Amino acid sequence: MVALVQRAASASVTTDGETVGEIGEGLLALLGVREGDTEAEAVGLAHKTAHLRVFPDEDGRMDRSLLDTGGEALVVPQFTLCGDASGSGNRPSFSAAAAPSVAEPLYEAYAERLAEHLSRDVPTGVFGAEMQVHLTGDGPVTLWVEKTPGG
């Protein structure tokens, strides 16, 4: 399971012209679920996301988390994060991505557990929908965060 986490001044996600999720300052997490991922990885990655120290303290050092700042989180499903473009062709392979029947419950588990850590609602995108993600980045700060079995 992988999350591309971006520090945001604001972020939103729309589908069919309707805003389905938006936040102010916080983190935008684009989430990819791989074949073989489990709820344990979703729980661990949500914990990691909530505790990531990527916000500046009073000295300007990245030493504060969403929990410290009271920041928000927006979670958007993105199976393309599981793509592999390392082959000789130009079309990425998505064979590592979990089937929707597996990925959707794990995506929901991640968002739900993140909401529990933050003690607030966590808006999300719509699983399987065509979406437009809008981000006003802060920093910019972007991290690739993985949670693997036993990791």
Domain boundaries, the chain: 2-86+97-146
Active-site choice (6, 14, 49, 78): 78
120-131 pLDDT tens trace: 999 999 999 999
Q: Is 127 a catalytic residue?
A: no
Give the pLDDT confidence of 41-73 residue by residue, as tens digits: 999 999 999 999 999 999 999 999 999 999 999
Q: Is 69 a catalytic residue?
A: no
pLDDT tens for 26-40 read 999 999 999 999 999
Closest CA to 97 of 27, 29, 39, 31: 31
Tell me what pLDDT residue 149 has.
57
* 80: annotated active-site residue: yes
pLDDT, the chain, mean: 96
Residue with tokens 């990691």: 48
pTM: 0.94
Confidence of residue 99 (pLDDT cuts 50, 70, 90): very high
Q: Which of 19, 80, 132, 136 is catalytic?
A: 80
**Token pair for 142:** 């972007």
pLDDT at 87: 87
Confidence tier at 22 by pLDDT (50, 70, 90): very high
Q: Which residue in the list 6, 49, 55, 79 is annotated as catalytic?
A: 79
Cα separation, 146 vs 151, in Å, equals 9
- What percentage of the chain carries pLDDT values higher than 90? 95
**Under CATH, to which class is 2-86+97-146 assigned?**
alpha beta
Q: Is the pLDDT of residue 147 over 90?
A: no
Instruction: Locate the DSSP E strands across the chain.
Output: 2-15, 18-23, 26-32, 55-56, 62-64, 72-77, 132-146
